[in-house]
Structure 1
Amino acid sequence: MKTNYLILLCALVGLESGLWAQNTTEIEIQPYLQDAEPHRMTIMWQTNTGGESVVEYGLTPKLGKKASGRDYEIDFSARKIHKVVLEDLKRFTTYYYRVKTGKTRSDIFQFKTPPFVQDEKDFRLVAMSDMQFDSHEPRKFHEIVNQGILPYVEKEYGPKLEEELAFVMVPGDLVQSGSVFHQWKDHFFNPAQKLFSKVPVYPAPGNHEHNSDFYFRYFELPKNGHPAYAEHWWYKDHGNVRIIGLDSNDGYRNLKQQMLWLERVLKETAKNGEIDFVFAQLHHPHKSELWIPGEEEFSTKVVKLLEKFTNDSGKPSIHFYGHTHGYSRGQSRDHKHLMVNVASAGGAIDNWGEFEGRDYEEFSISEDKYGFVLVEVDGDRDNPKFTLKRISRGNTITPEDNVRTDSITVYRKAVLPDTPKAVFPVDESVDFKGFVLKAGDFASSMPHAFHGAAHWQISATTDFKKMVFESWKQFENWYYNENRQKDDDLRDEKVHRLSPNTTYYWRVRYRDQHLNWSHWSDAQEFRTSAKTK
């Protein structure tokens, strides 16, 4: 009889424990920040069950205010995503908050609202991509965030992450397969929870997202794109920067609605006196030195629009991308436009020699390493600028601990270098089989400016419409672990065979490291020697 009572008691205890477990709410994805505005912040999180969606917040850790939102399904289980929008916040102000579902509360976190452009506040952002899971390096994205971004920001700027970093841009391939539910929690959100709980994250879809519903449920992106393709393309302003998200994936890159929208946005941005810089992001490269097959024509069209925007408005621009798993930084020849591959934050590195590559003249550096990009934006209305830095974590052969391997500063306003002097040849004869153009020293009134590039042209006509030779060289060209521009002072350029016994005209211009071109030198005439028998 005692045995029967014991069995009954155990069954009741087990039933009660099971019911308790079913009713216990767990936060599976810690709160993360979305769609920040000077007076508004969106907070999202995921729990294992449904229930209330509440954020407690305030200007001190005592909190004191409360806002409610809603939950919605994320898969076919009891799990829910919660979304709460905090309204009527103070601009450029730090808030404390925690989320609450049922009796379950998160830790207390902090965020800082964005400034208005009139506040003239400096800020920083991180750009990284392709953190998709690699079974050979399963904790790489966790490392990029927790041994890379977080300690780097603290060491260089200060311990309060929400004060020192404004937002994160991610141009695609957040997970290995966007249609596999657990990867979002295990491979993207959880490794970066210490970052995303304090700093808003703005992604653009990559090919590995597979246009999944999970992607669009997990993110609350601006709804200012085309209404039929909500969140596929959008823009967001932060201070004096407009960030633009685009969809370069199959099925969307050929939609005329996206290009027409981008044209309209860039046209409006050119006239907008509050925007100094445009930072666009899309997944596929315009050009890829490490992996040519990854290039996409859509991205080339986007680059041409950004170059035109920069040319018409005088406002520098960047397009961030990924897809190729390595870092590259290039710049358009005739425009203040940067092209920056911000991978890899986790995906297996595309090592030199594994795939077809090419040494493009636009690029100053490419490297097969993990890492992230940090951009410092100056909000000064008189002379705003941004500085882009590559922070490397190395690769599996040569690890690196937050080493800065690249940096460039670009100013909104141009201070042109001095016009170079054409030295040789000047009204004289040269060997038609080959000779060397020579120009004078680089000079600029801008402090600390140095010789960044040289552009040489030879034409059969004085208007330079019949070009027979053209060369553009930059002061560095890191390709396949070698600086191919080492020891080139950019003041001379070899010219190979021209037509004999012919009159030509040549000129040169110099660029500084901030992407400012000088005026062209005066055109000089020369003649090639006659062909001997």
Structure 2
Amino acid sequence: MGAFTVRGQWVFADPLPFVGAPGGLRPYLHLPRPDSIWVSWWTDADTDTYVDYGTSEAALNQTVTGSRHAFDASNAYHSTKLTGLQPDTYYYYRVRTENVTSATFRFKTAKALGHKTGKFRALIIGDNQILAKESAGDPYHRYEKLMERAITKLRAMHGDAPIEEIIDVILMPGDQVDVGTLNHWRNLHFYCSRLVSPNVAIMTTVGNHETYQDPGLGRYRELFRYEEVNYSGLNGADGDSYYAHQMSNLVFIHTNSEIGSNAAQTQWVTDLKDAYKDDTSVDWVVSICHRPYQAEQYLGDISGWLRNTAMPILNESDKHFLNIGAHHHIYHRGQVRDEPHYHIISGGSSWDQYWGQSGREADYDDVQKTINNWAWQFLEVDHATGKAEVTCYAEAHCRLPAASRWIYNSKEVDRFHRIRGKAAPNKPQLTNVPTEEATLPLTLQSSAFSTSTDELLNSVQYQVSNSPTFNTLELDKIVDFENFYGDTGSPDYLPVDINSGKNILQYELAVNSLPNGTYYARIRHRDRNVNWSSWSDSASFEITGSSATNPTISLPQTVYPSGASVTVDYAFGPGNAQDWIGIYKKGDNPGGVSSTKWSYVSGTAGQVTLSGGLTVGTEYFVGFFENNGYTEVATRVPFYYGSSPTLTTAKYGHDLGENVVVNFSGADVVATANKLHLYRAGSDPASASPLQSFDLTTASGSWTLAGLEKGYYFVVAQANTGTLVISDPVEFSVGDRIATLSLEKTTFHHGEDINASFINGPANPKDWLGIYRSGEEPGIGDLIHYVYVDGLANNNVPIVEDLPVGSYYLCLFTNDSYTEVSNRVSFTVHSAVFKMDSFNVEPGTNNAQLSWKTDQGVNYTLQRSSNLTDWEDISSFVGDGSTMQATTSITTQAVKAFYRMIIK
């Protein structure tokens, strides 16, 4: 190892050498139970399947015959379940067929369910889908290297003990492969896991890449036996697709983000929560969902089902303390805003992701760290102390040169813990709220952090409201003692703590951040055990001298079912005694007609509830009016009173020329019918003109769309009097390779920027452009370069990449998959610098002989000038990759002429 150098707080060393797994047949363990385990391995075409095992390496005195699944003539998958085992016991084993016998390996069975002594440990390593090796000459894949680094570090931390003595299980949160082909399963996931897979069981989760080229997960179901396992008798309704299992006093819940809001999966999560919350054999619950809870890059590319449905259910018990996600190829850690639960992204070492790549990025206050390193995590539960702790170790950065990017050598970049039952921090107080009128800026000052435990301060939450009940908030901000967001850029790309040096016990209300008026403020403290203190006593203060004037009204929803009351939040009102809020039909002119319902407000902020008098199937708006008059002081808020129709199609993808049938149910039947409107993907229904419309004259039925052009579309229901959307959209496509992709030219100099344009894309957050060499196929051949396109349906994308000389094609792919959604555009890259080897005029003629080294398919043009300023074309040639020779006429009237060769 080379000498250490210090850059900031990071210490780098020369990359550790890659050793790799020993050769020979190396089996794969999964589904570890106290009394059983599954053993699997691959051969090309062997028939027999045997496992010899015992509790002594010298006495493998039991043999089990297993099964063989022939995926094809050269891919045989052998599987055996060892049963009747003793919990928490070491077993030795070997696997064999008629042609090959493995070395002898050792594993340890899972501890008894409910076991609560010693320690439970797990390795978390996610999103490892890269199949191609990093660069020419590298003897390893990224995932293989990351796994070796993790095992090396864990063994060094525990006295160089065998890995099966250190960890109980390996958790993988999805995208174990790039595409769900046999090639990727066998030669990526199983092959690159072989360093550890004979000794420690691996438990996988379904990610989006598992479904590519295997949409029904048929291969996944053949490889794994998750349908056999359950917690508390609760099997996932979709078998291997999602499942739960208990190890010691932990329950692991592997959900499927690709089916997300599936009602059966949601009910299963609810049933699991009801079971574990009162189960005395369970103290800790960890959920795994491939698409994450939150993300500060590629905004919105998360699991809405996890965030809005599953997590609130799981978090009803504080036994659930950790959610593990992936999908983004980074590390991130945050806390749920109101509850003592963590969420992380374990992005492994997959496709490059870095700051500035995604176009849209945001610093969210429920994320404390986003670090663009290839990393892995170590979970340890100490049963004696009741402490669960996770440590993250960084290994490499994708923007460093390939030869030197693995220089972190298991640097600890995060550590967090949870101890259930530990006391929360003491209640803080605001110490400097003015008792009289104040002007902005104004600093809110918290009392010092205080606790009866040894925990330190992690966060302060500040809230400011116009209401003493805090039902409306003008400020709601969580500030953490550290906030890693962004990096230092070239050359080191070190993570940056943007809260470094910040006193988080202070928060400044900026000039003109609030209008004049009376406000209420409160704070609370969170410790590093993610416990919140009680809220401080609220303090009121008066702001004067502000030029901010922005009265607002808001509604919690857009569609109100029949019989529902309408609750309106208002803030920053004028403060007159007779300010009021009213409901009008869309198109009504306040003052010209009476309101449908109205109420005076009280003060500058609060709520009013308006009930009765509304007609089903009608669009209304809420207005905020000043001093018993009709002067509106806030932007109107529209809403619909009635039912929200449910829209479905039988499938997403349709062939060109095929009819698309949109089914609807639950629609209101009204005199002036609501409508279904058809739009192209990426359109805004509030402003775009619909392509086609359909009147909803029945409560249920269908709309047949015939003769649609190739494209990505969606249909929504909109209110009869305007553009207000009153349903969720239903999306579908017509045709294949729908998007139209083009380049400004098809021949580029080496090092020249390439500008691509496309129209009619699917507008998904992770649509991307990929460059492959001519003749290579996506998902099989090497991906030369890629760039995400910001989730737009139409875009111009600069591709800055120093491509080697050669022939390539560019294509648009959808949603982080290998599904091609555009035409392929072929292009070539040629040498930026070249010269003519010879240029000779034949004696007595006006002909010149010339020779020069060419690139295949490149267009060359010989030009002439008499003044080195104005050039005319003389002859054109197409290169064939060799040194070309040509003869051309150089007849000229000029006394002196100049010649040059250019590339067009």
Aligned to 1:220: 225
Q: Could you tell me whether the CA contact under 8 Å between 2:289 and 2:325 is conserved in 1?
A: yes
1:182-223 CA-to-partner distances (Å, cap 9, x unmatched) read 222221212221211111111111111124422222222244
Alignment of 1:19-168 (within 5 A): 30-77=26-73, 79-102=75-98, 104-116=100-112, 117-133=114-130, 135=132, 137=134, 139-146=141-148, 148-158=149-159, 159-168=161-170
* Higher mean C-alpha displacement, 459-468 vs 272-281: 459-468
Does the alignment pair 1:279 with 2:286? Answer: yes
Q: Could you tell me whether the CA contact under 8 Å between 1:366 and 1:479 is conserved in 2?
A: yes
Alignment of 1:163-242 (within 5 A): 163-179=165-181, 181-210=182-211, 211=215, 212-223=217-228, 224=230, 229-242=238-251
For these two proteins, the number of residue pairs brought into alignment is: 494
Q: Could you tell me whether the CA contact under 8 Å between 2:237 and 2:265 is conserved in 1?
A: no
Shift of 1:268: 1.1
CA distance in 2: counterparts of 1:51 and 1:135, whole angstroms = 30
Which of 259, 263, 274 aligns to 1:267? It is 274
Aligned to 2:419: 411
CA distance in 2: counterparts of 1:123 and 1:500, whole angstroms = 54
What one-letter code is carried by the residue in structure 2 that aligns with 1:133? I
Shift of 1:168: 0.9
Shift of 1:242: 0.7
What one-letter code is carried by the residue in structure 2 that aligns with 1:218? L
Aligned to 1:309: 314
Q: Could you tell me whether the CA contact under 8 Å between 1:28 and 1:48 is conserved in 2?
A: no
CA distance in 2: counterparts of 1:298 and 1:74, whole angstroms = 37
TM-score (norm 1): 0.87
1:481-510 CA-to-partner distances (Å, cap 9, x unmatched) read 221111122211112346666332221111
* Higher mean C-alpha displacement, 489-498 vs 193-202: 489-498
- Pair 516,74 (structure 1): closer, same or farther in 2 beyond 3 Å: farther
- Pair 501,83 (structure 1): closer, same or farther in 2 beyond 3 Å: closer
CA distance in 2: counterparts of 1:244 and 1:455, whole angstroms = 31
Which of 348, 351, 375 aligns to 2:354? It is 351
Shift of 1:169: 1.0
What one-letter code is carried by the residue in structure 2 that aligns with 1:386? A
CA distance in 2: counterparts of 1:326 and 1:287, whole angstroms = 12
Q: Could you tell me whether the CA contact under 8 Å between 1:428 and 1:525 is conserved in 2?
A: no
- Pair 418,479 (structure 1): closer, same or farther in 2 beyond 3 Å: same
SS at match of 2:277: helix
SS at match of 2:115: helix
The alignment yields a C-alpha RMSD, in angstroms, of: 2.2
Does the alignment pair 1:295 with 2:302? Answer: yes
Q: Could you tell me whether the CA contact under 8 Å between 1:130 and 1:172 is conserved in 2?
A: yes
Q: Could you tell me whether the CA contact under 8 Å between 2:31 and 2:37 is conserved in 1?
A: yes
Aligned to 1:10: none
Alignment of 1:360-371 (within 5 A): 360-371=364-375
CA distance in 2: counterparts of 1:334 and 1:115, whole angstroms = 34
CA distance in 2: counterparts of 1:93 and 1:472, whole angstroms = 47
What one-letter code is carried by the residue in structure 1 that aligns with 2:64? S
What one-letter code is carried by the residue in structure 1 that aligns with 2:141? R
Shift of 1:119: 4.0
Q: Could you tell me whether the CA contact under 8 Å between 1:173 and 1:207 is conserved in 2?
A: yes
Q: Could you tell me whether the CA contact under 8 Å between 2:169 and 2:201 is conserved in 1?
A: yes
Shift of 1:299: 2.9
What one-letter code is carried by the residue in structure 2 that aligns with 1:518? S
Does the alignment pair 1:517 with 2:532? Answer: yes
CA distance in 1: counterparts of 2:101 and 2:480, whole angstroms = 55
Richer in helix (by share): 1
CA distance in 1: counterparts of 2:106 and 2:260, whole angstroms = 37
Aligned to 1:15: none
RCO greater where, 1 or 2, for CA within 8 Å and sep 6 or more?
A: 1
Which of 481, 495, 505 aligns to 1:491? It is 505
CA distance in 1: counterparts of 2:79 and 2:515, whole angstroms = 74
Highest CA radius of gyration, 1 or 2?
2
CA distance in 2: counterparts of 1:480 and 1:363, whole angstroms = 13
1:260-314 CA-to-partner distances (Å, cap 9, x unmatched) read 111111221112122222211121123221222532322323xx4334433x322
SS at match of 1:153: helix
CA distance in 2: counterparts of 1:255 and 1:499, whole angstroms = 43
CA distance in 1: counterparts of 2:26 and 2:504, whole angstroms = 53
SS at match of 2:378: strand
Does the alignment pair 1:463 with 2:469? Answer: yes
SS at match of 2:469: coil
Q: Could you tell me whether the CA contact under 8 Å between 1:505 and 1:523 is conserved in 2?
A: yes
CA distance in 1: counterparts of 2:59 and 2:467, whole angstroms = 73
CA distance in 2: counterparts of 1:123 and 1:135, whole angstroms = 34
TM-score (norm 2): 0.52
What one-letter code is carried by the residue in structure 1 that aligns with 2:432? F
- Pair 531,54 (structure 1): closer, same or farther in 2 beyond 3 Å: closer
1:48-95 CA-to-partner distances (Å, cap 9, x unmatched) read 234332222222211333242422324121543222222222211211
* Higher mean C-alpha displacement, 129-138 vs 97-106: 129-138
Aligned to 2:868: none
CA distance in 1: counterparts of 2:31 and 2:508, whole angstroms = 53
Q: Could you tell me whether the CA contact under 8 Å between 1:284 and 1:295 is conserved in 2?
A: yes
CA distance in 2: counterparts of 1:136 and 1:289, whole angstroms = 28
Identical-pair percentage: 22
- Pair 352,516 (structure 1): closer, same or farther in 2 beyond 3 Å: same
CA distance in 2: counterparts of 1:136 and 1:50, whole angstroms = 28
Q: Could you tell me whether the CA contact under 8 Å between 1:94 and 1:163 is conserved in 2?
A: no
Shift of 1:416: 0.9
- Pair 111,493 (structure 1): closer, same or farther in 2 beyond 3 Å: same
Shift of 1:178: 0.9
1:393-419 CA-to-partner distances (Å, cap 9, x unmatched) read 121414321111111111122321121
4+ residue runs over 6 A deviation:
none
Q: Could you tell me whether the CA contact under 8 Å between 1:60 and 1:95 is conserved in 2?
A: yes
Which of 455, 460, 475 aligns to 1:454? It is 460
SS at match of 2:356: coil
Alignment of 1:434-453 (within 5 A): 434-447=441-454, 449-453=455-459
What one-letter code is carried by the residue in structure 1 that aligns with 2:49? S
- Pair 124,476 (structure 1): closer, same or farther in 2 beyond 3 Å: same
Aligned to 1:321: 325
SS at match of 1:204: coil
What one-letter code is carried by the residue in structure 1 that aligns with 2:206? P
